[in-house]
Amino acid sequence: MLFNSFEFLVFLPVVFAAYWFVLGGRTRAQNALLLVASYVFYGWWDWRFLALIAGSSAVDYVVGIRLAATTTLPRRRQLLAASLVANLGSLACFKYYDFFAMSLQEALAAVGWTIDPLTLNVLLPVGISFYTFQTLSYTLDIYRGRLQPTRDPVVFFAFVSFFPQLVAGPIERASSLLPQFQRSRAFDRSLASDGLRQALWGMFKKVVVADSCAAGVSLAFDDIEGASSGRLALGLVYFSFQIYGDFSGYSDIAIGTAKLFGFRLTQNFATPYFSRSIGEFWRRWHISLSSWFRDYVYIPLGGGRGTLARRCANLLITFTVSGLWHGANWTFVVWGVLNGLFYLPSVVSEHVRGVSERPRAEARFVDLPRIIVTYSATLLAWTFFRAATLGEAMRYLERLATAGGGPELRYEDYLRTTWILMLVVIDWRTRGAPHSLQLSRLPVIIRWGVYYALVVLTGIYFGRDVPFIYFQF
């Protein structure tokens, strides 16, 4: 089920009414309702997906309890291995097997060997990368002694499948979200109101900004040979706001929807395009995933300890794995490596100075040159993220540099630019806030004017049922 669909507009108020007006004050019943609702929400795409998420949840529920009851190290390692094999094995099977099989075939063909690899051709379950990482962090934290398992299966299964953030994050840590399922919840009008504002902002970013930009992106990427340099440059700018509006929009809708049910989820985006370095960008973009890779990949590799060469290697490995997490294609691997290379100057600077680069305040106009440089680097990397193949990405960049000519603006370009400017201005005005519709400092008439404008625009563009980009990951 898509957030930007009429089905969800019916589903949400029905679940909300049952949750508060029928089951209010009965925590276990509310949890059971959320579990059922989440499985309905997820199974709306394909009911067969439910077996996979239920199986993954069951494995980690049992492993978590047994890890807490086991003191011998070999046995604990066996239990952790069972969780890793079950979760990463399902990812490997559904997401990566065909990719590596075909890559092996191409590599062998390059040296004259011909093979006919066995491929699975299976449908990729929506959101598998997200809930797999969420359950993995649960067992890893129990193994490390940082978390006690829950023995309530309803609580755990609801934690894994919580429908607002199930298919595209934020990737929640059990230490943050599980306790919220375990305690009683009372309706908080101010929290719910804030949730509605955040969900509205997310919906505007998705259906108005991102979906409008999508057509402009296709004009460039679907006609690389015929497009001018100006059109190709504009296509990259459009894609940067398409993926930002699409993904951060999902996160805002998810976080806002969770607030309607009394839950607080992790902030996942913090105006990343106002970053002054790639290091800062990755502290502001997809925060829950960046912190996941930091805690479960980068730090176990050694993190910032050791020699400069070791730190750089740890960083590049982490970004390479992160790129592969995004998709089974060499374009995503190159995208990850590029971001790692762009990050390296910050690592070198931190190593030389002995202190971490942590800007103390939000960006100001005086930071505009650094913001532009950082944004330009992200645009270069986004080329590989969007392109279907490495050859297409390289050809796109070649044509961008050599084709010449302006973008030949159309009426739709002016509309898209207007929506992008609205997004940028509001984001800039509220940078540092948990979300961009926290406009309490503005006069009431202006604040409500913004709300009504966003409602009208979202209503005009609503109903196209365009899937979120990150569903494919």
Active site residues: 326
| Distance between CA atoms of residues 43 and 138, nearest Å | 23
Rg of the chain over Cα atoms, rounded to whole angstroms, equals: 23
Query: Can you read off the two tokens belonging to residue 222?
Result: 């679907």
Query: Can you read off the two tokens belonging to residue 283?
Result: 């502290």
> Which amino acid does the sequence have at 31?
N
Spatial contact of 280 and 206, defined as CB atoms under 8 Å apart: no
Residues 6+ away with beta carbon under 8 Å from 67: 76, 79, 80, 139, 142, 143, 149
Query: Can you read off the two tokens belonging to residue 60?
Result: 């980690």
Query: Can you read off the two tokens belonging to residue 390?
Result: 């490495």
Spatial contact of 297 and 318, defined as CB atoms under 8 Å apart: yes
Q: Which of 307, 309, 328, 306 is nearest to 317 (CA)?
A: 309
Spatial contact of 194 and 436, defined as CB atoms under 8 Å apart: no
Residue ranges of E strands in 277-405: none
| Distance between CA atoms of residues 159 and 156, nearest Å | 5
Which helix (H) or strand (E) segment holds residue 303: the answer is none
Query: Can you read off the two tokens belonging to residue 387?
Result: 């392109």
- With H, G, I as helix, E, B as strand and everything else as coil, classify residue 79: helix
* Helix, strand counts (H, E) of the chain: 20, 0
Spatial contact of 342 and 382, defined as CB atoms under 8 Å apart: no
Please state the φ and ψ torsions of residue 456, each to the nearest 5 degrees: -65, -50
Q: Which parts of 111-187 fold into alpha helices (H)?
A: 128-143, 153-161, 174-182
